[in-house]
Amino acid sequence: MKVFIDGQLVDKADAKISVFDHGLLYGDGIFEGIRIYDNNIFRLDEHLERFEFSAKALMLELPWTRQEISDAVCDTCRANGLENGYIRLIATRGEGDLGLSPWSCPKPSLIVIADTIALYPPEHYEKGLKIVTVPTRRMNPAALSPAIKSLNYLNNIMAKMEARQAGALEAIMLNDHGLVAECTGDNIFVVQKGAILTPSAQQGALKGITRDSIFDIAKDLNVAISEHELTRYDIWNAEECFLTGTGAEVIPVVALDGRQIGNGTPGPIFKRVLTAFHRRVRREGTRL
């Protein structure tokens, strides 16, 4: 396996960064998770735009053009013969001293990893997930915007650990007002009276690339969709529920906190959305 680091493709065993890199020391950096399907990198331009926006928000100056980053992603996939899988694009603040000061880091680092991924067991896509609500709250957008894909995911990691302690693979995180924000690694959607609803970024949800594609799919399917404040009560009493994410793709949820959602099986709108999503991922994006 080859990993791209600062302009070079190196063997996995030689893919190393400095212990003084502020991405390691402080989580000072950004990333994107990207999927490739049959040699088509799904919505690469959208991922690279969000990558640039995250960098700007953190005042992390990227010395590479969007085309250079795109080439690095594509070259890494080709070097690994990856036709279907997952790409992790990373920019760190770079090597500096032990202080917090980002200006001690004169040169950021660019890393691309391209490999396979299996986030959930296949049976859960057929039967659905049973998830829980965890105590750890989503970070307030006034403290750190959820639009920033930073390298510090401790908030989500703590929630993931709590989900596992409760015997669940995924969990809902509430914001500091008790409203549903998102899951530990996925966006959440519900179906109520035939319409699709999802929390907004103001509630703490990441503006996911897969999430955005669901809005396009709903329009094509002539299904109403909107951002909406959601409580756990709304999810317990929804007709359907499903999650989206680069790794998870689109996966149904059939129970929350021990309460069955709908009839306890993946619903018809979810199935239509999933079919449409599988068609889109092979035609929207950048061909290798």
Low-confidence ranges of the chain (pLDDT < 70): none
pLDDT for the residue 117 = 86
N residues, the chain = 288
Give the fold, CATH level 3, of 2-115.
Answer: D-amino Acid Aminotransferase; Chain A, domain 1 (3.30.470)
For residue range 168-194, what is the model confidence (pLDDT) as tens digits? 999 999 999 999 999 999 999 999 999
Residue 149 falls in the annotated catalytic set: yes
pLDDT for the residue 7 = 96
For residue range 118-143, what is the model confidence (pLDDT) as tens digits? 878 889 999 999 999 999 999 888 88
pLDDT for the residue 262 = 97
Active-site residue (options: 56, 127, 130, 149): 149
- Torsion, Cα 30 33 38 40, to 10 degrees, reads -40
Considering the chain, tell me which residue range(s) the CATH 3.20.10.10 domain(s) occupy: 123-285
Class at the top of the CATH hierarchy for domain 123-285: alpha beta
- What whole-number distance in Å separates Cα of residue 123 and Cα of residue 118? 12
- What whole-number distance in Å separates Cα of residue 196 and Cα of residue 131? 19
- Nearest residue to 233 (alpha-carbon basis) of 172, 187, 186: 172
- What whole-number distance in Å separates Cα of residue 151 and Cα of residue 159? 16
Q: Are strands 129-133 and 249-256 parallel, antiparallel or unpaired?
A: parallel
Write down the pTM of the prediction: 0.95
Considering the chain, tell me which residue range(s) the CATH 3.30.470.10 domain(s) occupy: 2-115
